[in-house]
Structure 1
Amino acid sequence: MRIKVHPGLCEGHGVCRRFAPSIYQLDAEGYLDLHLLDVPPGLERDAVTGADACPARAISILRQAAERELVPTDTPRRES
């Protein structure tokens, strides 16, 4: 999972940091100090909680797609 911060939307409320201080680092002016970050394993829930708490909606959660596409078992197969 990754988080993406939209710098133009961040208003410096710092609410995200209250829920996930190890993920959301703020700069000296109180704005998020990152643009794209891979969330460390085990901190996904905190990342989502912090993003959901953002009143400016400046944080997006990017979930990684599966590495391979699964084919449904009821899909007819063509004979070669």
Structure 2
Amino acid sequence: MASDVLAKPRMRGLLSRRLRIHIVGAFIVSLGVANLYKVGVAEPRKKAYADFYRNYDSMKDFEEMKKASIFQSVK
């Protein structure tokens, strides 16, 4: 009968052990999400801006806006 008794759970330090595990897990997940954001959003956005400004002619754009009479102070 005495061998059928369950062992007492170890309660001392339980919170600190669980927090340590969850903090490490949260850190790893946050690094993964940051890496995915960099690869999936930031790099393509930088490439799109670089491609746009590689052939951008601001004077041509200004003249087109001037012809469309967007500006009130320029004739």
Q: TM-score range by the shorter chain?
A: under 0.3
Give the structure with the higher percent helix: 2
Q: Please give the TM-score of this superposition, normalised by the length of structure 2.
A: 0.22
Q: Please give the TM-score of this superposition, normalised by the length of structure 1.
A: 0.21
